[in-house]
């Protein structure tokens, strides 16, 4: 077979999506260029109304990124030095970074092995750790890792008992739901990201927060633009340059016209992978009532290196989220952890591998992915 070049399978395929919606996107961007309201133009209001409706909440505020979205509630609620905010270590940096940047203390919590999300029992023990260190427990940030909603009921029980509010890190999960309730409505306030590779992505950076809390919404509204009150001449707090560009809002409105269909395609491919792979690896699971948007399709296996090599030989890329948990990274190593440590997090870092899964992955490419994984087991 020398000389044959195997066409690589795309890990995500924004090009195929672009071809599908090119006419609509180009026209929408042209309208922004024409009206010239590049910041907080009419597209932003329209997008916020549609996102709030989809999330089943009273208020949505779009903003500059997912990280900005996580920061706005912390600023609005005055989180700062002496406060403990409980976060997983098995997550993207932003979840803990926004806390540390406020001068507050991220306290790391372990996760469930099968579902990758925060373990409420470890949260209880982390709250005890924080109290013993003289910190005030304020907030908990469960993460909807890989597109599946976190255990919000379990986290809520502990949060209620200890007077914490819940900020959902929904950066990977917009469009998912739990017991029929959409992501955005599962926490006191939820933050999502529209980074291009997220299930709903724009053509640059973007994010949004969702809440039913009127007072919090007003405070975040001020935080988004340098602490400006509704009259703009009165500063009510510190804030950020937190706005979303009109062009990104215009792109997102076009992407929303195909988003439900894309989510169904993702579901279908995830089901097909599960059907053909569950005898050789631990495939991702869903809790009762969960619907995932499959931001990543992440396996657990003790043969990770073999799988990665086998797929690479078939022209199939893989990704590892997350190879080094945050508590083992230098900037975060000194922050406190739940009693008993984070054994599941540390095990997962050696076990996980994510496969290509996007709405434009055709049946042939799905078969190549399946064959590549199975080949690592001689199956």
In the complex, the residues that contact ligand PLP under the rule CB under 6 A are 65-67, 91-92, 94-95, 143, 169, 171-172, 193, 195, 205, 207
Q: Which residues pair with 62 in a beta bridge?
A: 208
Of the pair 208, 370, the CB lying nearest ligand PLP is at 208
Give the shortest CB-167-to-ligand PLP separation in angstroms.
11
We find the least distance from the C-beta atom of residue 325 to ligand PLP, in angstroms, to be 13
Q: In whole angstroms, give the CA distance from residue 325 to residue 199.
A: 23
Show the tokens assigned to 143: 């993460």
- φ and ψ of 189, to 5 deg: -150, 140
In the complex, what is the shortest distance from the CB of residue 66 to ligand PLP, in angstroms, rounded to a whole number? Answer: 2
Q: Closest CB to ligand PLP among 122 and 192?
A: 192
- By beta-carbon proximity to ligand PLP, the closer residue of 119 and 365 is 119
The smaller minimum CB distance to ligand PLP, of residues 91 and 366, is found at 91
Tokens (6 digits) for 214: 């009127």
Please say which residue, 105 or 193, places its beta carbon nearer to ligand PLP.
Answer: 193
For the record, the structure tokens of 265 come out as 């395609």
Q: For residues 92 and 294, which CB has a smaller minimum distance to ligand PLP in the complex? A: 92
Q: Which is nearer to ligand PLP, 357 or 373 (CB)?
A: 357
- Between CA 352 and CA 321 the distance in angstroms is 7
| 17 closest CA partner among 292, 265, 378 | 265
Q: How far is CA 35 from the centre of its chain?
A: 33
Residues 291 and 344 sit within 8 Å (Cβ to Cβ): no
Work out how close the CB of 172 gets to ligand PLP at its nearest, in angstroms, rounded to a whole number: 5
Please spell the DSSP secondary structure of 66-125, one letter per residue: HHHHHHHHHHHTT--TTEEEEEESSS-THHHHHHHHTT-EEEEE-B-TTT-SB-HHHHHH
**Could you tell me the smallest distance in angstroms from the CB atom of residue 213 to ligand PLP?**
21
Cα 77 from Cα 326, distance rounded (Å) = 24
Min dist. Cβ of residue 354 to ligand PLP (A): 12
| Least spacing, CB of residue 101 vs ligand PLP, in Å | 13
Contact between residue 174 and residue 207 where contact means Cβ atoms under 8 Å apart: no
* DSSP 8-state secondary structure symbol assigned to residue 146: G
Partner residues linked to 208 by β-bridges: 62, 192
Q: Which residue number, 91 or 246, has a Cβ lying nearer to ligand PLP?
A: 91
- Which strands make up the sheet holding 177-178, listed edge to edge? 181-182, 177-178, 290-291
CB of 94 to ligand PLP, least distance (A): 4
Closest residue to ligand PLP, judged by C-beta, is 66
């Amino acid at each position: 077979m020398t000389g044959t070049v195997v066409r690589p399978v795309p890990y995500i395929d924004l090009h195929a999506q672009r071809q599908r919606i090119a006419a609509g996107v180009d026209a929408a961007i042209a309208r922004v260029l024409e009206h010239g309201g590049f910041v907080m133009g009419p597209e932003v209001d329209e997008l916020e109304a549609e996102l709030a409706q989809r999330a089943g909440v009273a208020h949505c505020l779009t903003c500059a990124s997912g990280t900005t979205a996580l920061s706005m509630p912390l600023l609005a609620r005055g989180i700062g030095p002496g406060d403990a905010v409980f976060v997983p270590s098995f997550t993207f940096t932003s979840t803990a970074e926004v806390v540390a940047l406020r001068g507050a203390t991220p306290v790391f919590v372990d996760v469930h092995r099968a579902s990758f999300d925060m373990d409420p029992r470890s949260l209880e023990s982390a709250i005890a750790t924080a109290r013993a260190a003289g910190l005030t427990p304020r907030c908990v940030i469960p993460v909807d890792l890989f597109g599946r909603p976190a255990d919000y009921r379990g986290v809520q029980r502990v949060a209620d008992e200890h007077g914490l509010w819940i900020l959902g890190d929904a950066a990977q999960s917009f469009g998912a739901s739990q017991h029929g309730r959409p992501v955005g409505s599962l926490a006191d306030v939820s933050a999502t990201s529209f980074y291009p590779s997220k299930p709903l992505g724009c053509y640059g950076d973007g994010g949004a927060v969702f809440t039913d809390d009127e007072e919090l919404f007003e405070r975040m509204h001020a935080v988004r633009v340098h602490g400006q009150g509704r009259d703009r001449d009165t500063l009510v707090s510190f804030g950020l340059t937190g706005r979303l560009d009109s062009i990104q809002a215009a792109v997102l409105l076009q992407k929303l016209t195909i988003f439900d269909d894309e989510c169904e395609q993702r579901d279908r491919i995830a089901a097909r992978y599960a059907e053909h792979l569950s005898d050789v690896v631990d495939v991702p699971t869903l809790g009762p009532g969960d619907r995932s948007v499959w931001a990543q399709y992440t396996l657990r296996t003790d043969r990770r290196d073999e799988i990665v090599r086998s797929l690479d030989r078939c022209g199939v890329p893989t990704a590892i989220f997350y190879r080094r948990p945050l508590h083992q990274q230098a900037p975060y190593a000194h922050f406190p952890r739940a009693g008993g440590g984070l054994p599941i997090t540390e095990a997962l870092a050696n076990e996980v591998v994510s496969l290509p899964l996007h709405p434009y992955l055709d049946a042939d490419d799905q078969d190549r992915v399946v064959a590549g994984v199975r080949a690592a087991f001689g199956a």
